[in-house]
């Protein structure tokens, strides 16, 4: 009997406020919703700490069957050749380095990859793309992309490209999504295409052009999958692809 596939999830870092003169506390982790979403789909979540260590990244990928690049703060704009916008924030160059290296190696291995929010932006940069650094000031007539609700809010609509991988996974060509971002994909990276856009033209999902098991969305499906099961299908897809990856690797070994 085949065991649950291992889904490697990238973890960010956070500084915690401490009383004056006490040592600063820094933790690594991700929202528990990522873990629960993977578990509901039959996968086993495994966190990749925010450490720029090539040997550790390589070792973690050797036991993984799939990857989630999780959400978080802004990516340093110098990585895609731009000076920072005044409203860019929450930078973590260690995380940028770790996730770019991990992403490129995972794709080279053929591991299935799901990018979420920052994860979509990171994927795009790792493959040579660029970002809109601040939607409200750089996208004319932008809709609201950052929710202020106290509970899960499906904030705006996205239109999904017909016959895209995303449309097949979700079984839909239009969808209301939650939203927590002020940056977005601008120029697409190599081998990528947009598979969903908001009504203001902001790219809301990307996928590979040539059948690579890669999907990324700008919204947060892990946050709303329990209340809105359509979003759980993204994790179902990842776990299914992870099982196929493991079976292929076992046949090749």
- Annotated active-site positions, please? 117, 220, 222
CA distances, 232 to each of 19, 219, 225, 235 (Å): 40, 13, 5, 5
Exposure on the CB side of residue 11, measured as CA atoms within 13 A: 21
CA gyration radius for the chain?
18
∠ CA 146-148-151, nearest 5°, is: 115
The token pair at 71 is 């959400």
Spatial CA neighbour of 106 closest among 252, 238, 231, 250: 238
Place of tokens 């939650």: 178
Spatial CA neighbour of 56 closest among 84, 28, 88, 75: 28
> Contact at 8 Å (CB) between 32 and 70?
no
The token pair at 104 is 């490129």
């Amino acid at each position: 009997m085949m065991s649950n596939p291992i889904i490697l999830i990238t973890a960010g870092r956070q500084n915690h406020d401490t009383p004056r003169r006490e040592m600063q506390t820094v933790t690594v982790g991700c929202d528990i919703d990522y873990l629960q979403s993977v578990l509901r789909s039959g996968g086993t979540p495994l966190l990749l700490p925010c450490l720029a260590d090539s040997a550790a990244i390589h070792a973690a990928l050797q036991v993984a069957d799939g990857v989630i690049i999780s959400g978080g703060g802004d990516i340093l704009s110098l990585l895609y050749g731009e000076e920072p916008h005044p409203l860019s924030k929450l930078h973590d160059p260690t995380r940028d380095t770790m996730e770019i290296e991990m992403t490129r190696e995972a794709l080279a291995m053929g591991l299935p990859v799901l990018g979420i929010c920052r994860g979509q932006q990171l994927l795009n940069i790792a493959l040579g793309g660029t970002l809109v650094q601040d939607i409200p000031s750089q996208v004319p007539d932008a809709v609201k992309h950052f929710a202020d609700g106290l509970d899960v809010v499906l904030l705006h609509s996205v239109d999904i490209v017909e016959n895209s991988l995303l449309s097949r996974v979700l079984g839909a060509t239009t969808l209301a999504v939650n939203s927590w971002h002020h940056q977005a994909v601008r120029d697409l990276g190599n081998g990528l295409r947009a598979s969903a856009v908001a009504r203001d033209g902001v790219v809301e999902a990307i996928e590979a052009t040539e059948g690579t098991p890669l999907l990324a969305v700008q919204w947060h499906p892990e946050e709303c999958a329990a209340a809105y099961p359509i979003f759980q299908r993204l994790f179902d897809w990842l776990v299914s692809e992870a099982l196929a990856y493991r079976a292929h690797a076992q046949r090749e070994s």
